[in-house]
A = this chain, B = another copy of it.
Amino acid sequence: MESDDTPMSIGSRLGNQSAERLSGENEDTAEYIQDILAEKIMGSKRVYNGRFLAVDAVDIELPNGHKVVHDVVRHPGAVAIIAFDAQGRVLIVHQYRTALERVTREIPAGKLDVGEEALECAKRELAEETGYRAGEIRYLAPIALAAGYSDEIIHLFMATDLKPGFAQPDEDEFVISEWVALDDLIEDVLDGRLEDSKTVIAILLCDAIGRRL
């Protein structure tokens, strides 16, 4: 059963729209800030189309009238799931990352299929990657992973009431799962020993939520 709380309803309405609200200001000020910072998009060209990555060179006009090109990684969007067992431990996957040339510890995650809802994708990815089916799953937050050069939004979920099952990773996907106490992960984050951004956010978010319950 998924609980339909505020961020969830934000998330499903979101699509490609903004999660941003300009805090502290009234609507007029927020709109004013939008207006004076806005770039004009004049055109866009696909400059790379790999199996895993597409890059567009986007022609824009800056607020000062200068015309420049910004490179943007196009991404279908993704989900990541922080899954808890009955003892409050977190499901962590060890995974080799080509970009970093090392193994990282991450929460399960994956890309949205075309037309797929974030919630469906979260259930699917968790089950495929680790075998676990979530009895309860809750939307946490939409995160822009690398706003400087990527349009990727990753939707964070929290899963509980897990039932074990058979993992069915992609043929070329290699992960090793491990249960780790949340407190140990928080210590790792505080000591700068856990580097994956979505994983750090999910851990700290659950810590913050837990302390406010």
Interface residues of A (CB under 8 A from B): 6-7, 10-11, 18-24, 33-34, 36-39, 41, 47-48, 50-53, 55, 57-58, 60, 62-64, 66, 68-73, 78, 94-106, 109, 139-153, 171-172, 174-176, 178, 180, 184-186, 188-198, 200-201, 204-205, 207-209, 211-212
Contact B48 A48 (CB under 8 A): yes
Q: Known contacts being A50-B71, A55-B48, A94-B22, is A174 close to B62, with CB within 8 Å?
A: yes
Q: Known contacts being A18-B100, A193-B19, A204-B208, is A146 close to B150, with CB within 8 Å?
A: yes
Chain B residues near A171 (CB-CB < 8 A): 64, 66
- CA of A52 to CA of B7, assembled, Å: 33
Contact B196 A144 (CB under 8 A): yes
Contact A19 B192 (CB under 8 A): yes
Q: Known contacts being A52-B71, A208-B204, is A191 close to B103, with CB within 8 Å?
A: no
State how many angstroms separate the Cβ of A99 from the closest Cβ of chain B. 5
Contact B20 A193 (CB under 8 A): yes
Contact B197 A144 (CB under 8 A): yes
> 26 A-B pairs, CB-CB below 8 angstroms?
A6-B192, A10-B193, A20-B193, A20-B194, A21-B193, A23-B188, A24-B180, A36-B174, A41-B101, A48-B71, A50-B71, A53-B71, A64-B172, A72-B99, A73-B99, A97-B144, A99-B146, A99-B149, A100-B151, A141-B189, A145-B145, A147-B195, A189-B208, A197-B198, A200-B201, A204-B207
